[in-house]
Amino acid sequence: METLSQKIQRVLQDKIELVPYDPAWPQQFQQEKAHLLACLPSHLINRIEHFGSTAVPGLAAKPVVDMLVEVTSLAITREQVPPILEAQGYDYFWRPTRGDDGPPFYAWFIKRDVLGHRTHHIHMVEAHFEHWERLLFRDYLIAHPEVAREYEILKYQLATQHSRDRVTYTEAKTTFIQAITARAKQYYQRGDRAINSERATLKTLGDLE
């Protein structure tokens, strides 16, 4: 029987292939979101977000829809969710570190089509996890197409160099992602301050109740 470590190593060696942006990706996210909300325990699921490159219009990506699911408890998720999704053909992993059989850092599911190609990655985390910063990266790329283009060029270069090494491919993107995420934090914090300042000014002028 395949061990968890062997299973992880197998999926990490799947070939990396980038394709042009597909306008159907947001719809595929919405369909899978509806499916998860319908089949999973409602007390576990708080919100479901579309993130990663397929969430950025115009950006080339691996044709796999990344989904970030906020759960109330990873411990309960590990007990209740895998039997439901594995029965439907999803691959399930818990990932404190790659190949580690310890308690889950987050729960990860892979959905595939009838040909065995990946279609969705479902990441289940709690509200306080740093994974939610990926939404800042997503939103910044959407707001700044020129930065998204830089990221696309980098991804094509790395996919050529590391077509069957997903670990190295992912790690090689880290510096860029961290830099843009830090920039996004500053950008949106300034935006929040500007909005709050404008509202305060309007209130002073009597335009807000």
Domains identified in the chain, total number: 1
pLDDT for 34 beyond 50:
yes
pLDDT at 7: 65
Domain assignment present for 207:
no
Distance, first Cα to last Cα, the chain? 66
Helix (H) or strand (E) holding 68: strand 65-71
Q: Which residue has the tokens 């843009």?
A: 180
Domain ranges, residue 55: 4-200
- For the entire predicted model, the pTM comes to 0.82
With beta carbons less than 8 A apart as the criterion, state whether 159 and 169 touch. Answer: yes
CATH number for 112: 3.30.460.10
Report the distance separating Cα 109 and Cα 88, nearest Å.
Answer: 11
Q: Which residue has the tokens 């209130």?
A: 203
> Mean pLDDT throughout 82-98?
84
Which tokens in the block code for residue 205?
């002028």
> Mean pLDDT throughout 15-23?
94
Q: Are strands 65-71 and 45-51 parallel, antiparallel or unpaired?
A: antiparallel
Per cent of the chain over pLDDT 90 is: 68
Average per-residue pLDDT in the chain? 86
